[in-house]
Chain A
Amino acid sequence: MHTVTLARLIATTAARLAAVLAVPLALAGCIGGQDHAEIRAEALQRGGGAEPFLVREAEAAVAARLSAEPGTLVLASISIAPDHLALVAADPRIPGNWDRYRYASGRLGEPMPVRARPGAPSGFRLGEFRALDRLPTLVADARARIGFAEGQLGTVEIKPAVNAKADEGRRPGPRLWVRITDPRRGTAAQQYDAEGRPL
């Protein structure tokens, strides 16, 4: 059989096969895709990405970038969103230098310099936030305590107490902030101490 004829035959067969298989697929309808807003709403409903393992993973990735041991980094804040984590960490090689890192889908972004404000609270180490393993429970608890009927999870952040003076005498260590936004009532925040006790 001539090679060109064979090639034509195989191409025709492949085209027919594709056409035949396309019919049941077309009958199945255009299904399965969701837009960004729907997926984000689902993620916020589930807890906004507050996964302890992910926080540890992000801290370890930043530590590896800075040639430091995981758990030894001094952090100014950890912001948690469904699709990424943002960490502000001190550079152990250059005292006083803080950088913001974005960790998303297992990849660590390039550092962005952060201007240190005078009088800003000192940083914390991840291990000081001892309630890390209870993070999802605390986010759910904050939602229940705030009690907005149409509330949507806003920011979830671990950072030192904003006003150290006002916090004097209260429990030391980093805080967890959970903000819930309601289209009718605005934004409310619930704070937890390093042990996961509500403040």
Chain B
Amino acid sequence: MKRPAPSDRASWTAIAAMAAAASMVAAVFLVLILWVVWPGAMAHAAPLACPAGFPDPFVLEEVYSLPGETRWTWSLVCMSAHGAIFRPGSTIPWALGVAILWLPCMVIALAVVHARMKR
């Protein structure tokens, strides 16, 4: 079996690194788009983000209006059976969203690059 030349290995490492970085950026943008268009998707992070006793997820939409500026924020809220509210913050839903979308983005990016290089 022929080992790849050092220059080939180096270029493939560079391709993989760039694909990883680009697909990470794509995943972050996708999560942003996802939250703007479908904030309710954040509720899918509930099994990881909500602690025991708070099984029901809601997505809280807050609008802040300042002179010349309107800001929307979305955050996950977990509710217990008797109405206690737990706010786990946005880090876990963010990280989960990016992690889920990162791998498919990277696979697609690498597949496209591979296909183009074969031509």
Contacts and interface: CB of A to CB of B under 8 A. Distances in A.
Interface in A2-55: 3, 6-7, 9-11, 13-15, 17-18, 21-22, 25-26, 28-36, 39, 42-51, 53-54
Interface of A: 1, 3, 6-7, 9-11, 13-15, 17-18, 21-22, 25-26, 28-36, 39, 42-51, 53-54, 82-83, 104-106, 135-136, 139
Interface in B55-92: 58-63, 74, 77, 79-88
B19 interface: yes
Contacts, number: 145
24 contacts: A3-B14, A3-B18, A6-B15, A10-B18, A10-B23, A10-B109, A14-B22, A17-B108, A18-B30, A28-B37, A30-B39, A32-B38, A34-B61, A36-B60, A39-B85, A42-B58, A43-B84, A47-B82, A49-B85, A50-B84, A54-B53, A82-B85, A83-B84, A106-B86
Contacts of A105: 85-88
Contacts of B60: 33-36, 39
Interface in B34-49: 34, 36-43
Given A30-B38, A105-B87, A49 B11 contact: no
Given A18-B30, A50-B83, A136-B82, A34 B59 contact: yes
* Ranked 7 nearest A-B pairs via Cβ: A32-B40, A33-B61, A46-B83, A47-B82, A14-B26, A43-B83, A49-B84
B26 A18 contact: yes
A7 B81 CA distance: 50
Classify the secondary structure of A's interface with B: helix
A69 to B, nearest CB: 23
A33 B79 contact: no
A46 B82 contact: yes
